[in-house]
Structure 1
Amino acid sequence: MELKRVVITGLGALTPIGNNISEYWDGLVNGKSGSGPITHFDPEKFKTKFACELKNFNPLDYFDRKEARKLDKFTQYAMVASDEAIADSGIDLDAVDKYRVGVIWGAGIGGLETFQNEVLNFAAGDGTPRFNPFFIPKMIADIAPGNISIKHGFMGANYTTVSACASSANAMIDALNNIRLGYSDVIVSGGSEAAVTIAGMGGFNAMHALSTRNESPETASRPFDATRDGFVLGEGAGALILEEYEHAKARGAKIYAEVIGGGLSSDAYHMTAPHPDGNGVVRVMENCLRNAGIKPEDVDAINTHGTSTPLGDVAELKAITKVFGDHAKNININSTKSMTGHLLGAAGAIEGIASVLAMQHSIVPPTINHENVDENIDASLNLTLNKAQKRELNIVMSNTFGFGGHNACVAFKKLTE
């Protein structure tokens, strides 16, 4: 069976450094930090008092008051980003076969704030279970693609992938395979997360996963820097329209890039820590290269998982050196989490978008906030430090890993006939 080719025809983003694709890209190339003091709740008693929150996001700009009350933030974010991507794709929703249009979405946590607030309200009451009837529909992780499909009448595949921080990369790989095998013409894919909450911050603080650089939140996300002390929690969504190539060409769609492969693996090592030698990361990149039908020396850039954790950054770079050998020093390596923070289940989507836009504009966004050399990191690697670099890019890979040892890698290519 000959596999179909899959291309990207629409993009949408709602991020801590920009509330649409144009703003997001501008923030990336200019090295904008999205981190600042938490405004969603009073963080005074928390170890970490900052996060990468969305800026100037008002749900009433997108939803009426009644609808907004029925949707957790992570679903609101998903619908806003997917609406931008659908509009960007130029798809005629009246002409498309909606039985062949699906939504495959990623979320690592889902409606955490809804769950948190309902439990707190119950605990503060007299013990009578007076729960909101929308509690469960707002909270469940699969509700975001459900609402996207309901709004637009898409009747193809519809589900959520949940693999912690690899969730939306998993969603893109599932979407790729669904179209490759001829089951769908178009898939709305991506991911969303809204975990900057009391429970989210408290939980990650308890794990000692978050940076506590409260005196300088804008520089706290510092991948590969010797003084990195944990990730910065982010929120938002990214959406990509994946489309069968001939279907896109027939309707005269603009095409951002081709999705040429995806790889998956498991560390099978620890609940939250990576294998120190990056064994699972080695395997996921090898699997992606094999699935895409490309050689290591074909890769021009890698948007790393690069969370700014002491163990994770070193393990990932060790894995890159092992997979790519001498070619590793010719690759532009970066971490856009230095600007956006870590969007958990939405990370793969917004970083996939960053990879695609980097190819389109021939610019690799920087890894910002790097000040101190880490002796455990190979100095010959080009980590694209502190300033964007111009470069012709034909193939870019994007790595995303999640608690539980979940690894995903997606490969994008500049379109060739």
Structure 2
Amino acid sequence: MTTASDRTISVTGLGLITPAGVGREATWAGVLRGRSTADQDPELKELPVGFSCRIPFMPPEQARIGGGKSWRMGQFTRLAVLAAREAVADAGFAAPGGDWDGARVAVVIGSGLAGAAHLEEQSAQFLKGGPDLVAPALIPMLISNMAAGEVALDLGAHGPSLATESACASGASALAVARDLLLAGACDIAVAGGTEAAVTPVVTTGFQRMGALSARGDEPAAASRPFAVDRDGFVIAEGAAVCVLERSADARARGHRVYARLAGVGRSTDAHHPTAPAPGGAVAESALRTALADAGLAADDIDHVNAHGTSTPLNDRAEAELIARVLPHAPSVTAPKGVLGHSLGAAGAIEAALTALTIHHGTVPPVANLTPGTLGFPLDCVTGAPRPQRVRAAVTHSFGFGGHNVVLTLTSAT
């Protein structure tokens, strides 16, 4: 049974595949540069919004799943498998069948739209030529649990395997659920994160029609500008992040490097509107305060905020008001979606991983496309260049359609 003295969870491995780069180090370097990855997208060229943030080309040695398995996987699943492999190796484990007890390893992977890209593609095939043109693997490429299922299969993980679905909070929800499993004693290691590969014509059009996307088609790299006065929407993106989590006592016993500790979790639901946040972050506030209390911290203990920061008018205003109200001492703020775009269900896991790296390296990445002169709120947003900073405790926010709010508190391992 876990006691109050060992309720912290350590982040011992990270895997990242994002528009800033393939792999943890490439992504971190790209985020530190602070330049948007948005560009014109040939697949979207006939649409009102024809740009996105895509993952860079992956050489075959990086993209290889192996074993003749890739054909049956949706792209969101492939990304999760590759990110999980990097995270597990980074944590110092030789899976599968290596130096862990697979029965004590859990997998929790979140996604917002899962295999929507394949449903769109295969629907076109069906309309073109009937049932015979539909891929036999459509269902495993489509369903949202298959990222967790294939990661577990790839790693030989026989503990609980779960998929979280809370829209753009899905990746953060996965980390929160993984922490629950570890604290409940249901596993000893959790491989958890988020993945998304849904930059398609129909999905992009859906977001455009509801007014969520930036319309800066003449200058895509300037489109995503979290907390700027002239923000006008997000840039759709893809990506994946997976973290290896262990109880801190177990991580200490192994003697492995710890990036940060997942010290607290807070969750709430707006129950206000299907897609718009509650004004002022009124209900998200309870998630933030719960995450602080769960970590045993006061508001003024927080040195840094990794904001959800979508660059949409409503979200940024509600989040800025939330930060100013609950954290009036003005901790540093960053918003990775300026560089990476919005990877939907993967975003919360990507941003949690970046928060762990911020703590580990003592460096806060800048917000792309934001200057002190264009900042629309009284926040200490990092702009222009990375800021060296000792971060003892940070929060990362994730908010999703349906009113899902997830806040994670991460603290230094030292």
Q: TM-score scaled to structure 1, two decimals?
A: 0.94
- Is 2:372–2:383's contact at 8 Å kept on the other side of the alignment? no
Q: Deviations over 1:240-265 (max 9, x none)?
A: 00012222222221111111011101
* Alignment pair present for 1:49 and 2:47: no
**CA distance in structure 2 between the partners assigned to 1:200 and 1:66 by the alignment:** 29
**CA distance in structure 1 between the partners assigned to 2:242 and 2:99 by the alignment:** 22
**CA distance in structure 2 between the partners assigned to 1:361 and 1:374 by the alignment:** 28
Q: Which moved more, 1:247-256 or 1:77-86?
A: 247-256
Q: Which of the numbers 64, 83, 92 marks the counterpart of 1:90?
A: 92
**CA distance in structure 2 between the partners assigned to 1:108 and 1:192 by the alignment:** 8
- Is 1:227–1:372's contact at 8 Å kept on the other side of the alignment? no
**CA distance in structure 2 between the partners assigned to 1:411 and 1:268 by the alignment:** 23
* Alignment pair present for 1:114 and 2:118: yes
Q: Which of the numbers 23, 26, 32 marks the counterpart of 1:23?
A: 26
Distance change (3 Å), C-alpha of 1:375 and 1:69: closer
- Is 2:228–2:375's contact at 8 Å kept on the other side of the alignment? no
- Spell out the pairing of 1:221-370 with structure 2 (5 A cutoff): 221-325=224-328, 327=329, 329=330, 331-370=331-370
- Is 1:165–1:346's contact at 8 Å kept on the other side of the alignment? yes
* Alignment pair present for 1:214 and 2:226: no
- Is 2:272–2:403's contact at 8 Å kept on the other side of the alignment? yes
- Is 1:59–1:76's contact at 8 Å kept on the other side of the alignment? no
* Alignment pair present for 1:204 and 2:207: yes
- Is 2:193–2:346's contact at 8 Å kept on the other side of the alignment? yes
**CA distance in structure 2 between the partners assigned to 1:78 and 1:36 by the alignment:** 24
Q: Which of the numbers 49, 73, 76 marks the counterpart of 2:75?
A: 73
Q: Which of the numbers 102, 109, 118 marks the counterpart of 2:106?
A: 102
Shift of 1:376: 5.7
- Is 1:289–1:295's contact at 8 Å kept on the other side of the alignment? yes
Shift of 1:371: 4.7
- Supply the AA of the counterpart residue of 1:191: G
Shift of 1:78: 0.5
**CA distance in structure 1 between the partners assigned to 2:372 and 2:361 by the alignment:** 29
Q: Deviations over 1:161-185 (max 9, x none)?
A: 0000000100001111111122211
Q: Deviations over 1:108-161 (max 9, x none)?
A: 110111111111111122x54653221111100110010011112100110110
- Is 2:188–2:246's contact at 8 Å kept on the other side of the alignment? yes
**CA distance in structure 2 between the partners assigned to 1:95 and 1:235 by the alignment:** 32
**CA distance in structure 2 between the partners assigned to 1:343 and 1:195 by the alignment:** 9
- Supply the AA of the counterpart residue of 2:205: G
Aligned counterpart, 2:413: 415
| Residue-pair matches, total | 408
**CA distance in structure 1 between the partners assigned to 2:289 and 2:382 by the alignment:** 23
- Supply the AA of the counterpart residue of 2:382: T
Give secondary structure in 2 for the equivalent of 1:165.
Answer: helix
- Is 1:226–1:372's contact at 8 Å kept on the other side of the alignment? no
- Is 1:225–1:372's contact at 8 Å kept on the other side of the alignment? no
**CA distance in structure 2 between the partners assigned to 1:371 and 1:29 by the alignment:** 16
**CA distance in structure 2 between the partners assigned to 1:53 and 1:402 by the alignment:** 21
- Is 2:35–2:369's contact at 8 Å kept on the other side of the alignment? no
* Alignment pair present for 1:157 and 2:155: no
- Is 2:274–2:402's contact at 8 Å kept on the other side of the alignment? yes
Q: Deviations over 1:313-341 (max 9, x none)?
A: 0110101111123x1x2x00110110000
Aligned counterpart, 1:399: 397
Give secondary structure in 2 for the equivalent of 1:392.
Answer: coil
- Supply the AA of the counterpart residue of 2:118: T
- Supply the AA of the counterpart residue of 2:87: A
**CA distance in structure 2 between the partners assigned to 1:387 and 1:354 by the alignment:** 16
Q: Which moved more, 1:58-67 or 1:84-93?
A: 58-67
Q: Which moved more, 1:198-207 or 1:304-313?
A: 198-207
Shift of 1:374: 6.2
The root-mean-square deviation of aligned C-alpha atoms, in Å, is 1.7
Give secondary structure in 2 for the equivalent of 1:105.
Answer: strand
Give secondary structure in 2 for the equivalent of 1:346.
Answer: helix
**CA distance in structure 2 between the partners assigned to 1:375 and 1:221 by the alignment:** 13
Distance change (3 Å), C-alpha of 1:283 and 1:129: farther
**CA distance in structure 2 between the partners assigned to 1:122 and 1:106 by the alignment:** 28
**CA distance in structure 1 between the partners assigned to 2:387 and 2:189 by the alignment:** 33
**CA distance in structure 1 between the partners assigned to 2:168 and 2:285 by the alignment:** 18
Shift of 1:67: 2.6
Q: TM-score scaled to structure 2, two decimals?
A: 0.95
* Alignment pair present for 1:12 and 2:12: no
Shift of 1:65: 9.0
- Is 1:233–1:343's contact at 8 Å kept on the other side of the alignment? yes
Aligned counterpart, 2:382: 384
Identity %: 36
- Is 2:227–2:375's contact at 8 Å kept on the other side of the alignment? no
- Supply the AA of the counterpart residue of 2:392: N
- Is 2:270–2:403's contact at 8 Å kept on the other side of the alignment? yes
Distance change (3 Å), C-alpha of 1:90 and 1:375: closer
Distance change (3 Å), C-alpha of 1:80 and 1:368: same
Q: Which moved more, 1:62-71 or 1:227-236?
A: 62-71
- Is 2:263–2:295's contact at 8 Å kept on the other side of the alignment? yes
